[in-house]
A and B are shown apart, each in its own frame.
Chain A
Amino acid sequence: MLGSELSTIWAILIAVAVLLYAALDGFDLGVGILFPFAKDGHERDQMQSAIAPVWDGNETWLVLGGGGLFAAFPKAYAALMPALYLPIFLMLLALIFRGIAFEFRHHGRKTGKRWWTVAFAGGSITAAIAQGLVLGGFIQGVNVVDGKFVGGPLDWLTPFSLLVAAALTIGYALLGGAWLVFKTQGELFERARTWVKRLAILTALAMGAVSLATLGVDQRVTYRWGLTMTSIDWPTFIQLAPLPLVCGLLCFLLWRGADLRHHAAPYLYAVGLFAVGYVGLAVSLWPYIVPFAMTPAEAAAADNALSFMLWGAAPMLPIILGYTAYVYWLFRAKVTDEATDH
């Protein structure tokens, strides 16, 4: 296989891993973001039970994203990670608190449990914000010369990255709320429906704001969408216009699904929303793996490394998806009212 084909395949695989991470761990983080809005400790136990058996597998997609980038695109990994040093560590530290809180909340006594409840919510919120800062810093491009990061330690901190961080946090909260609609019943189900309806509107606004702001980060993005400061290239724009329209439609369907008391539909629409937004982003940034500095072919590992890994990934990824689906099937039932009874 040609090197450029291999690097394209790996770019797609890693992009899919990151999207799966967002769709899956996104709802885990979302549940944590919604923790402060729960009625009481019992309701928070139910919320945590709705994700406890699967969060660890979900987070593994983040390890595949990071490890996969190291293995398949070492030069992109080496350029991006130093550029995003501080938000990456903020994310990792926040994920530590989020992750251990699953176990520690059960073992803490009165004060301990209260503290780990705060750690779970705070860790989830901070991780979502940090991931948004990483994403924002990534989209706006990093300062690379000869494959090395040459910018400053706070280059990622801009109004744009803060906007993306806010939007991603809202988006994860939406996924979390929709997951709770799917997994809970009774009072919490009703509360989650209200959350989803509000968050659907907020997400629509946030996505619109990020989309417009993304057009401004680099002229290449503006041209990609057929836009300039003064004119619109209609044939180009019309081709891509369905993306924002579908997003708007999905937000409406989500709101309506929650309103009509559908159980699974809101989560599926929310995932659809993430997927379409993600495609929109990919369209904007194509063909860069380090925006405006490196393409996948330039950043890729040696061809033999890429094909060696493909021999493993080709059988393993379907197997992983298979047993992941099995675990989800096994825990498909709604959380019962005695929430702690896993």
Chain B
Amino acid sequence: MDFDALLLSRLQFAFTIGFHIIFPAFTIGLASFLAVLEGLWLYTKKPVFRNLYLFWVKIFALSFGMGVVSGVVMSYQFGTNWSEFSSQVGSVIGPLLAYEVLTAFFLEASFLGIMLFGWKRVGPKLHFAATCTVAFGTLISTSWILAANSWMQTPQGYDFAADGTMIATNFIDVIFTPSFPTRLAHMVLAAFLTTAMVVAGASAFALLVKRAKPESLTALRMAILMMAIVAPLQLVAGHESGVVAHEYQPAKVAAMEGWWVTRAQQPTLLFGWPDQDAETTHAAIGIPGMGSWFTVGDANAVVKGLDAFKPEDRPPVWITFWAFRVMVGMGIAMVGLGIWGAVVWITKRLERATLYQKALVLAAPSGFIAVLAGWISAEVGRQPWVVYGVLRTADAVSPVPAGSVATSLIFFIVVYAIVFSAGALYILRLMSKGPDTEEPQLKDANEPPGSPLGTGVKSAAVKEG
């Protein structure tokens, strides 16, 4: 393999966006969770919701900060590393990203200030409105970025200008591509599930070490409710997304499924070792016909395999195949944990179910793993195209020397390793402490929480040495 600017730029983009997506995937769900907690607190006046809000908002602030700084990188990387892509498609998807900044980024950033530092300056209702605005902003942002990415997966509503660059013929078509609705639903549900798994894991941990019992039980119930409802829904959304992908990106689906031969009765492989050179999947174990049935609703339907595409038009199969399996595996585990949780809850054994609690602690990162694996299979499965069927990744790269890209990539790896380790340390440290139940009772229910809330203000009193 030749470490040229193209490969290095691909590695850098994969690394930086893979790092970035972890944080939005978590904060999209967490912002909504915080809005629900604050709403419940305002409505019921129960301190348990306030304590939970004050606990999770610190974790939110840390994660959101890391999401912001790793996100700024993305808005420049299109130009630095993918300048041909930028000049080719700027007139088509550039406006979608501009709308994202105008309608979401400013909203989130500005109201985040009120959410974190505004307790003493605005009333509880206005503060709640700020939390809701941030949550809403994260969802608007998700919609625009998924619209842009879905256009790259299933492009439509474009034409070529005289100079060879792409122009939009209809922006409504550009935004609402065939894969957009299902992929947006799939991503939003994934974000909610990711948050639910983290909240469940942290709450279960607190119960196991017997801390903040009322808070942890409440949060655990909320997380189980989310899991039990959303995890099965996610299977449906994922399936619908797969059906659309099969219609518009059959090579991707063939790679996900490890199908090399076009045939009837395509199997669903439970295991296999795809071999790109031998054009086969070794040691394949699967259920015959199930693949055809999943994609077209008929086990006897003939479904395209990778032999329907020229070798240079096929995505890397091994990565796509396995990333897809990891994602589905995590999804099924979440469905299982949701059902298990519902049973334990209904039979009123939630407090004592230590085995279940341990399983939740273990499964806390499952949402992150599923999101990363899902995006890997979606993006690698789109290869060798950056805009499916229109612009090849190899034709999109910037005219920069490999040395420059290698330099920036090495620095990214070092910096992200430091940032991620420290961030994870601080978040895990907060989680192991659990919600603060020592918060003094409020004299007036409408009074904002007594202790100054920034983000971990108490520890800020620590003097620098």
Contact A340 B79, CB 8 Å, known A70-B94, A301-B94, A331-B117: no
A67 and B98 form a contact (CB under 8 A): yes
CA distance A147 to B422 in the complex (A): 42
Contact pattern, B 347-374, Cβ under 8 Å of A = 1, otherwise 0:
0000000000000000000000000000
Residues of B within 8 A of A75 (CB): 87, 90
CA distance A301 to B78 in the complex (A): 15
Q: A113 in the interface, Cβ–Cβ < 8 Å?
A: yes
B412 and A93 form a contact (CB under 8 A): yes
> B30-38, B205-213, B331-339, B447-455: which one contacts chain A?
B447-455
B99 and A97 form a contact (CB under 8 A): no
Contact A106 B456, CB 8 Å, known A56-B68, A330-B122: yes
Contact A103 B90, CB 8 Å, known A53-B113, A85-B404: no
B91 and A74 form a contact (CB under 8 A): yes
CA distance A89 to B84 in the complex (A): 19
Contact A57 B84, CB 8 Å, known A86-B407, A99-B68: no
Contact pattern, A 96-108, Cβ under 8 Å of B = 1, otherwise 0:
1101101111111
Q: B70 in the interface, Cβ–Cβ < 8 Å?
A: yes
Q: B462 in the interface, Cβ–Cβ < 8 Å?
A: yes
Contact partner of A92 among B76, B167, B459, CB < 8 A?
Answer: B76
Distance (whole angstroms) from the CB of A17 to the closest CB of chain B: 9
Residues of A within 8 A of B83 (CB): 77-79, 81-82, 148-149
Give the size category of B's interface with A: 35 or more
CA distance A99 to B112 in the complex (A): 14
Contact A60 B423, CB 8 Å, known A89-B80, A95-B69, A107-B429: no
Residues of B within 8 A of A67 (CB): 75, 94, 97-98, 100-101
Q: A72 in the interface, Cβ–Cβ < 8 Å?
A: yes
> A189-197, A248-256, A317-325: which one contacts chain B?
A317-325
Q: A62 in the interface, Cβ–Cβ < 8 Å?
A: yes
B401 and A153 form a contact (CB under 8 A): yes
Contact A308 B423, CB 8 Å, known A59-B72, A77-B79: no
Residues of A within 8 A of B236 (CB): none
Select from chain B the residue with minimum beta-carbon distance to A84. Answer: B80
Distance (whole angstroms) from the CB of B80 to the closest CB of chain A: 4
Contact A89 B408, CB 8 Å, known A57-B109, A66-B79: yes
> A41-49, A200-208, A226-234: which one contacts chain B?
A41-49
A313 and B102 form a contact (CB under 8 A): yes
Residues of A within 8 A of B460 (CB): 45, 105-106, 340
B105 and A342 form a contact (CB under 8 A): no
Distance (whole angstroms) from the CB of A122 to the closest CB of chain B: 12
Interface residues in B125-170 (C-beta closer than 8 Å to A): 161, 165, 167-168
B87 and A74 form a contact (CB under 8 A): yes
CA distance A69 to B94 in the complex (A): 9
Q: A88 in the interface, Cβ–Cβ < 8 Å?
A: yes
Q: A80 in the interface, Cβ–Cβ < 8 Å?
A: yes
Most A CB atoms within 10 A — which of B76, B399, B465?
Answer: B76
CA distance A208 to B68 in the complex (A): 36
Residues of B within 8 A of A112 (CB): 422
Distance (whole angstroms) from the CB of A111 to the closest CB of chain B: 7
Residues of B within 8 A of A105 (CB): 460
Select from chain A the residue with minimum beta-carbon distance to B105. Answer: A60
B167 and A304 form a contact (CB under 8 A): yes
A77 and B86 form a contact (CB under 8 A): yes
Q: A293 in the interface, Cβ–Cβ < 8 Å?
A: no
Contact A104 B422, CB 8 Å, known A60-B106, A81-B79: yes
Distance (whole angstroms) from the CB of A48 to the closest CB of chain B: 9
Most B CB atoms within 10 A — which of A42, A64, A74?
Answer: A74
Residues of A within 8 A of B445 (CB): none
Residues of A within 8 A of B101 (CB): 60, 63-64, 67-68
> B59-67, B183-191, B220-228: which one contacts chain A?
B59-67
B102 and A312 form a contact (CB under 8 A): yes
Residues of B within 8 A of A316 (CB): 102-103
A96 and B415 form a contact (CB under 8 A): yes
Residues of A within 8 A of B95 (CB): 71, 301, 305, 308-309, 312
CA distance A97 to B416 in the complex (A): 10
A93 and B415 form a contact (CB under 8 A): yes
Residues of B within 8 A of A111 (CB): 465
Distance (whole angstroms) from the CB of A211 to the closest CB of chain B: 28
B462 and A113 form a contact (CB under 8 A): yes
CA distance A150 to B65 in the complex (A): 37
Q: B310 in the interface, Cβ–Cβ < 8 Å?
A: no
Distance (whole angstroms) from the CB of B276 to the closest CB of chain A: 31
Residues of A within 8 A of B109 (CB): 56-57, 59-60
Distance (whole angstroms) from the CB of B423 to the closest CB of chain A: 7
Contact A68 B98, CB 8 Å, known A53-B118, A93-B415, A112-B422: yes
Distance (whole angstroms) from the CB of A324 to the closest CB of chain B: 6
Residues of A within 8 A of B452 (CB): 340-342
Q: B437 in the interface, Cβ–Cβ < 8 Å?
A: no
Q: B432 in the interface, Cβ–Cβ < 8 Å?
A: no
Contact A153 B400, CB 8 Å, known A66-B79, A99-B68: yes
Residues of B within 8 A of A66 (CB): 72, 75-76, 79
Q: B300 in the interface, Cβ–Cβ < 8 Å?
A: no
CA distance A312 to B171 in the complex (A): 13
Beyond A78-B87, A309-B99: 18 further Cβ-contacts under 8 Å? A56-B109, A59-B109, A63-B75, A63-B101, A66-B75, A68-B101, A70-B78, A70-B97, A72-B94, A81-B78, A96-B415, A97-B419, A302-B91, A309-B95, A312-B102, A316-B102, A316-B103, A323-B107
| Residues of B that sit less than 8 Å from A by CB | 61-62, 65-66, 68-73, 75-76, 78-80, 83-84, 86-87, 89-92, 94-95, 97-103, 105-107, 109-114, 116-118, 121-122, 161, 165, 167-168, 171, 398-401, 403-404, 407-408, 411-412, 415, 419, 422-423, 426, 429-430, 452-457, 459-465
Q: Could you jot down 25 A-B contacts, CB within 8 Å?
A: A41-B463, A53-B117, A53-B118, A56-B65, A57-B106, A63-B75, A66-B79, A69-B79, A71-B90, A71-B94, A74-B90, A81-B79, A88-B76, A96-B419, A99-B69, A103-B61, A150-B399, A302-B167, A302-B168, A304-B171, A324-B106, A327-B110, A327-B114, A341-B452, A342-B454
